[in-house]
Structure 1
Amino acid sequence: MEVAAVELRRQLLGLFARLLEYPEPESVGQARACEELLAEAAPEAAGYVGAFRRYLEGTPIGRVQEAYTAFFDLNPVCAPYIGYQLFGETYRRSVLMLALLDRYRAEGFEYTNRSELPDRISVVMRYASVSGDEDVVVEGLIPALRRMTGVEEGPPVDGRGPMGSGTPQLEGHSHGGHLEEGVLLEMTEGSTAGSGRRAFEALLTGIRLALEALWPAPRTVLPTGRALEVGEATRQNGNGRAEEA
């Protein structure tokens, strides 16, 4: 792969990671930079990121932050943890997090917010941006984003949620579902806050489309019941089935 293409991938992953973290005033410039980088490489993705950028430009940062919290941290359907999206809250997610930590140590990667879990999507993207690890993009990030954007069915929502038994849980689906009552209904379905929900949906869709365009290799996701292991790769055997390399 050309050096320019590799650098483009890394720049985008780093910007995506920042956009998926808690919004700050700098988020507008980061979204604009993403949009410009994607204009030729993945124009459809650029359109979705552009919609998110316009939302940031026209919305007070405090309201953006409220919408972010409602969309990601209080909604299990869009919980921003790849292990939770792939396996639900099971021991397989724990195995995945340990495997990710092994990869982080092997690459000398340290994420700044140690209170965050290692499978948070922004952490994994930041790691991939500095390491060039394509496995976690193809086998982890893309499948998780497909579930978060409703392209594929996600894990069953249990009573614990991605952060354990203390995590607030909501009924419904962030992509068209409806909450029964409460402040989060107002935040996510109201006339102004609903635009925040749609904006973050657009961001996730844009990121998914960008990754699918720039990592076009066939997605060989791990079979149900297995977690990503350090150094694991797959290939197609003569019968067209995936097997370990």
Structure 2
Amino acid sequence: MTAPTAAVHSRSVPAAERAKLFQLAALLLTYPDSDLVKAGDTLSAAAARIEHPHLRRLFDEFLTWLRGTEPIEVQQHYVQTFDLRRRSGLYLTYYLHGDTRKRGMALLILKQRYRAHGLRLAGGELPDLLPVVLEFAAAVGPGDGEAPLRQHRRGIELLRAALTDLGTPYRLIVDAVTYVLPELTDSDREAIAALAFDGPPVEAVGMDPYSPDPHAPNGAALAPYPTCRAPEAPR
């Protein structure tokens, strides 16, 4: 793994604007099934309502690719990007903890946080899936809602760097997310560089009750990821 480049410095973006961004990003980072592809007009309208010009441009560029590419090609690209590569997987706790007992505890803490706000995961989905974390941030807002994004800032940056290296349009969505998160500190950058060089910890035990490995490609990879609540059309 190569060391990631520095993230774009975050700017002051109002909470309501961040919520719109997080909800739209959550939708666009789910598997591009026929319903998502057919919602191109709605998604573009949601992107147009983002006031920040840089963030709006990122979404516009991604949606231009999404709407101008054959659906089967988009679906294949999604699977190849997120489901067949651990380095660019969407499960955030993996970046920091690998398949270790610490990851199991981190997953449990996330699940308890969701429950404290009356939210339940659909279909047994893992709570660290980035679209789920983004949906939670959009629903609950600053403070508790955005806390998991801040806590997993290093993992999100590793994902952003991996997507940038791949040259995938999905990097634009994660660029938008990192733009509104706190800036990386020097200690963050050192830790990220070490993780990028060494990779996550490895340990074969301690993941119950969250086994099997969510990164292993299987039939479920071709199903849309459920979120912690039914997604609505972005406002």
CA contact (8 A) 2:26 2:132 kept: yes
When the two chains are superposed, the root-mean-square deviation of aligned CA atoms in Å is: 3.0
**Stretch of structure 1 that moved more, 58-67 or 27-36:** 27-36
Equivalence for 1:127: 136
What SS class does the counterpart of residue 198 from structure 1 fall into? coil
Equivalence for 1:10: 19
Could you tell me how far apart the structure 1 residues matched to 2:86 and 2:186 are?
24
Could you tell me how far apart the structure 1 residues matched to 2:56 and 2:85 are?
26
How far does residue 61 in structure 1 lie from its aligned partner after superposition? 1.4
Q: Which of 85, 102, 126 matches 2:95?
A: 85
How far does residue 56 in structure 1 lie from its aligned partner after superposition? 1.0
CA contact (8 A) 2:18 2:138 kept: yes
Q: Which amino acid aligns with 1:146?
A: E
CA contact (8 A) 1:47 1:206 kept: no
The 5-angstrom pairing of residues 45-56 of structure 1 reads 45-56=55-66
How far does residue 218 in structure 1 lie from its aligned partner after superposition? 7.2
Q: Which runs of 4+ in 1 moved over 6 A?
A: 216-221
Could you tell me how far apart the structure 2 residues matched to 1:137 and 1:33 are?
25
Indicate whether 1:94 and 2:104 are aligned. yes
CA contact (8 A) 1:20 1:122 kept: yes
Equivalence for 2:212: none
Could you tell me how far apart the structure 2 residues matched to 1:145 and 1:28 are?
26
Q: Which of 200, 203, 216 matches 2:173?
A: 203
Q: Which amino acid aligns with 1:203?
A: I
Could you tell me how far apart the structure 2 residues matched to 1:5 and 1:99 are?
27
Q: Which of 55, 59, 73 matches 1:63?
A: 73
What SS class does the counterpart of residue 128 from structure 2 fall into? coil
TM-score, normalization by structure 2: 0.63
What SS class does the counterpart of residue 177 from structure 2 fall into? helix
TM-score, normalization by structure 1: 0.61
Identity %: 25
Equivalence for 2:28: 19
What SS class does the counterpart of residue 129 from structure 1 fall into? helix
Q: Which runs of 5+ in 1 are unaligned?
A: 151-172, 178-196, 226-245
Could you tell me how far apart the structure 2 residues matched to 1:32 and 1:63 are?
20
Equivalence for 2:119: 109
Q: Which of 136, 147, 150 matches 2:158?
A: 147
Higher relative contact order (CA 8 A, sep 6+): 2
What SS class does the counterpart of residue 80 from structure 1 fall into? coil
Q: Which amino acid aligns with 1:96?
A: A
How far does residue 21 in structure 1 lie from its aligned partner after superposition? 0.6
- Superposed CA offset, 1:182-202 (max 9, x none): xxxxxxxxxxxxxxx521222
Could you tell me how far apart the structure 2 residues matched to 1:175 and 1:8 are?
24
CA contact (8 A) 1:78 1:148 kept: yes
How far does residue 65 in structure 1 lie from its aligned partner after superposition? 1.0
Could you tell me how far apart the structure 2 residues matched to 1:119 and 1:30 are?
27
Total equivalences in the alignment: 173
Q: Which runs of 5+ in 2 are unaligned?
A: 1-12, 192-199, 201-235
